[in-house]
Structure 1
Amino acid sequence: MSLADAPVAPVYDQAQLDQMAKAMATMQAQIKAMQAKLAAVRAKNATLEAQQETERKNQSAKKVNNKPDATKPSQTDKSLIQRVADAVAKKNAAPIKVGGAVRFNYTLEQFNQNSRNTVGDLNFDTFRLNLDGQIDNVILSAEWRYYDYMQVIHHAWVGYKFTPNWLVRAGVVKVPFGNLPFNSNSYYFSSLFYAGFEDNYQLGLSTTYDLGNWRFDAAFLKNPQPNGFGTSSYSENVVGFDNGLDPSDPNYQRTDAKPINTVVGRAEYTWKANDDLTLKPGLSLMRGSLYGQNQREGDYHAYAAHLVADWQRWNLKLEYADYDYALNNKLAERLVYGAYAYNSFGPTSAKAVTAGVAYALPVHWGPISKLNFYNDFSRIYDKNDGIDPTWMNVSGVSVVAGPVFAYFDFVQGKNQPFVGGNLAPARGSGNAPINRLFNINLGYYF
Structure 2
Amino acid sequence: MYKTLLLLMTLLFLSSLSYAQYSEENVYEKPTLKIGGALRFNYNLSTWKEDQLERGGDFGFDVLRINVESEYKGIKLNAEYRHYSEGFGGGFLKQGWFQHDFSDISQIQVGLNQVPFGIQQYNSNNWFFNMTYYIGFEDDHDMGVKYIHDNGRWQWQAAYYKSAEDLVFGSSEASPNRYSYDVTGRNKENNQLDFKIINRLGDSLQHEIGASLQGGLLYNLDTERNGTRHAGAVHYEYKSVNSPWNVKLQAMLYRINPKYASDNDLNFVEMGAYGANYNVANKGEVYTASLAYHLPIDTRLLQGITFYDNYGYYNKRVSGFENSHMNVLGALFSAGSMYIYTDAAFGYNQPWLGPEWTNAFTAGTPGDTDWHLRFNINMGYYF
- Measured against the shorter chain, the TM-score band is 0.7 to 0.9
Which residue number in structure 2 is paired with residue 77 of structure 1? none
How many residue pairs match? The answer is 346
Structure 2 counterparts to residues 182-221 of structure 1, below 5 A = 182-221=122-161
| 3-state DSSP of counterpart to 1:385 | coil
Of 207, 219, 227, the match for 1:279: 207
Q: 1-side partners of 2:274 and 2:366: how far apart?
A: 24
**2:222 aligned with 1:321:** no
Q: 1-side partners of 2:99 and 2:368: how far apart?
A: 48
Kept in 2: contact 1:158–1:171 (CA 8 A): yes
Mark the runs of 5 or more structure 2 residues left unpaired by the alignment: 1-19, 168-172
- Paired residue type of 1:348: N
1:430 is displaced (CA, Å) by: 4.8
Q: 2-side partners of 1:291 and 1:306: how far apart?
A: 30
More helix by percentage: 1
**2:209 aligned with 1:264:** no
Change (3 A) 1:159 1:363: same
1:278 is displaced (CA, Å) by: 1.4
Change (3 A) 1:85 1:400: farther
- Overall identity of the aligned pairs, in %: 31
Q: 1-side partners of 2:312 and 2:334: how far apart?
A: 25
Kept in 2: contact 1:176–1:264 (CA 8 A): yes
- Paired residue type of 2:66: L
TM-score where L is the length of structure 1: 0.74
- Paired residue type of 2:237: V
Structure 2 counterparts to residues 15-414 of structure 1, below 5 A = 88=27, 91=30, 95-149=32-86, 150-227=90-167, 228-240=173-185, 256-271=186-201, 273-274=202-203, 278-293=206-221, 295-310=224-239, 312-329=243-260, 331-414=265-348
- Paired residue type of 1:266: K
- Paired residue type of 1:393: N
Q: 2-side partners of 1:428 and 1:314: how far apart?
A: 37
TM-score where L is the length of structure 2: 0.85
Kept in 2: contact 1:334–1:424 (CA 8 A): no
Change (3 A) 1:306 1:427: closer
Kept in 2: contact 1:236–1:338 (CA 8 A): yes
Kept in 1: contact 2:321–2:363 (CA 8 A): no
Q: 1-side partners of 2:326 and 2:244: how far apart?
A: 25
**2:364 aligned with 1:419:** no
Q: 1:260-287 deviations in whole A, cap 9, x for unaligned?
A: 000000001111x245x71000000000
1:293 is displaced (CA, Å) by: 2.0
Q: Which has the higher contact order (CA 8 A, sep 6+)?
A: 2
Which residue number in structure 2 is paired with residue 442 of structure 1? 379
More strand by percentage: 2
Mark the runs of 5 or more structure 1 residues left unpaired by the alignment: 1-80, 241-255
Q: 1:168-202 deviations in whole A, cap 9, x for unaligned?
A: 01111111100011100000000110000001111
Which residue number in structure 1 is paired with residue 14 of structure 2? none
- Paired residue type of 2:212: S
Cα RMSD of the aligned pairs, angstroms, is 2.1
